[in-house]
Structure 1
């Protein structure tokens, strides 16, 4: 006959490890705001952690439970707590694509650029991985590093291209992300070519992507496209057609302005049609 052992039930601060999720974790995860509020009023710690260092705030952010996130933060939840993989609640909110949770965390001082570890990506990487372009815009507005480098994925632009999230690609490029950043010689254009996404290839080239870049296998982006496919035809055309002076000028201006481009261009004393062209509108 099996003997059931009663589950140890404790509340503690971050740094201690508990084998199971607590009632606070459960309420935060399931969006039970009333239950969570009662637990907090009864003295339950909002910083209790499970064996994997998951806090109730992580749980709420992973599931986009905005009201619970607000209650936890107002009760003193540690906004930049890390789980066993090094992810912060902001990483989880970005992964879930919860714009309101992201906004709440940033308002309470969450770091848009937490130190990267070998096991975790930045909040901006997570937002790009999930194709959450609104979160990408919000993070960039709060100073998220466009060139944050992840060992497995490269830059956020690499991630957006590899996961075929065109809107994220557009936001990153317009904000000044380096179009020819490399990871093991792979460029974002290599990823777009592998996915055979013509529109993504076009916008990358418009922002100055090097169509002749070679990866660690000495392959150019076009080498990853199917012969005769629209993406192959697109890249072949770029390879054989010189860039116009107009396009070269736009690239020169954008390259000089870098991440200040959008704001600076809008303030130039030039016709609106030129401002639109320089802003890729």
Structure 2
């Protein structure tokens, strides 16, 4: 009896996949045919509602994602499915349509009762996606329906999304609808900071004109630090005109002029030089002296870091083409989406693809290490953490990833050492300091020395 039952289950799974594929490709006749075959007497509507993939996406999600309006008409107008049904990530069909830029599909869903204010698990609505993709027609449609222009997501407001994706027209429309140019995320990221990070002078100018503050501090730096690091002269000029303070220090104690000097960017050093106050410790305060000093500092690295750097010679680091970098970025995005859905295995697969395209990106190994850690696969997590640190020896998060994997392996002394190395790189990180102390305490208890002599 077992074999026939297994065969029947396999056949049903194949039909479910055929049904969802039909929604995806827009094959309405075949979709109807398979739906009837799957109906077990509960009624066609309930049967179709119950058909989901591993991420709880149904036919309506797939049809909306691919802009298959005829399939959506059948599902909504004939079967009366819930237009706001959510998948595992909390995305509605409207969010799927907006993310893919299917304007007509999004309008159809809105006309048939879709609620544009429903956010995903990460707080993103159709408005955020329309802003991020620069879909002005959909953006205006959503705003005309009263969608709050400053609704927050984990990645900020729609204005932050637009600025961070260099969507100047979307920024203009949102500002015309009174979007807050100084809205912040929990990490103090603002639209202006996002525009600078994206290298978007057009968005920056619009935001400055709207009253965006230039002297914000987030992620350990100001917009002027970021512009100096990017080496973008136009961004620097725009920020200075907006009143950015060149004397503010970042979390490493550097001012924008120091950042520019470390990148050997003479032009930016020359612009910042007359606006930057001379430090009391500086005996020779000239452009040449600043460039020479930072060049000298950049050559000094802790022994432990230089040893790791030596382990990866330039000939071992492959050249990555722009095409492969783009493919890697796309795979990375899929990995992040899967991670937030808690679909860790899919995330690992996506990050692996991204690494295949660009093995020089340390963040990919860090992200995959975290996924392995969440699955309890400590050895794999440790291997990826070590790869991350080899590529980026001075990155504190790499130390944290290695320490976390070692802690899971109950190698507490090694974990404490990894966390301590991270603390040395970033003494202000409470996460690293706490992890170091916890690893030391755990090691003492593990070895029965928690009552050691004081």
TM-score (norm 2): 0.48
Maintained 8 Å contact 2:94/2:114? yes
For 1:227, which of 240, 264, 279 is the aligned residue? 264
d(CA) in 1 for partners of 2:144, 2:85: 22
The unaligned stretches of length 5 or more in structure 1 are: 12-16, 241-281
Q: Where do 1:111-122 residues align within 5 Å?
A: 111-116=148-153, 119-122=154-157
- Preserved contact between residue 47 and residue 56 of structure 1 (Cα < 8 Å): yes
Pairing of 1:1-281 with structure 2 (within 5 A): 3-4=9-10, 5-6=12-13, 7=16, 9-10=48-49, 19-42=55-78, 43-116=80-153, 119-152=154-187, 154-183=189-218, 186-225=221-260, 226-239=263-276
| C-alpha deviation, 1:195, in angstroms | 0.6
Deviation for aligned residue 1:33: 2.5
Structure 2 runs not aligned, ≥5 long: 17-46, 278-454
Quote the Cα distance in structure 1 between the aligned partners of 2:134 and 2:219.
29
d(CA) in 1 for partners of 2:273, 2:103? 48
Q: Tell me which residue corresponds to 2:419.
A: none
Alpha-carbon contact 2:131-2:162 (below 8 Å) kept:
yes
How many residues of Structure 1 are paired with residues of Structure 2 in the alignment? Answer: 234
Distance 1:129 1:228, change over 3 A: closer
SS at match of 2:257: helix
How far does residue 31 in structure 1 lie from its aligned partner after superposition?
A: 1.6
CA contact (8 A) 1:129 1:159 kept: yes
The whole-number CA distance in structure 2 between the counterparts of 1:130 and 1:120 is 12
Pick closer, same or farther for the CA change 1:228–1:181 going to 2, 3 Å. closer
Structure with bigger RCO (C-alpha 8 Å, 6+ apart): 1
Point out the structure with the larger helix share: 2
CA contact (8 A) 1:147 1:156 kept: yes
Q: For the pair shown, which has the larger CA radius of gyration, 1 or 2? A: 2
CA separation of 1:10 and 1:34: change in aligned 2, threshold 3 A:
closer
Cα distance in 2, alignment partners of residues 174 and 228 from structure 1: 28
Q: Distance in 2 between matches of 1:62 and 1:153?
A: 25
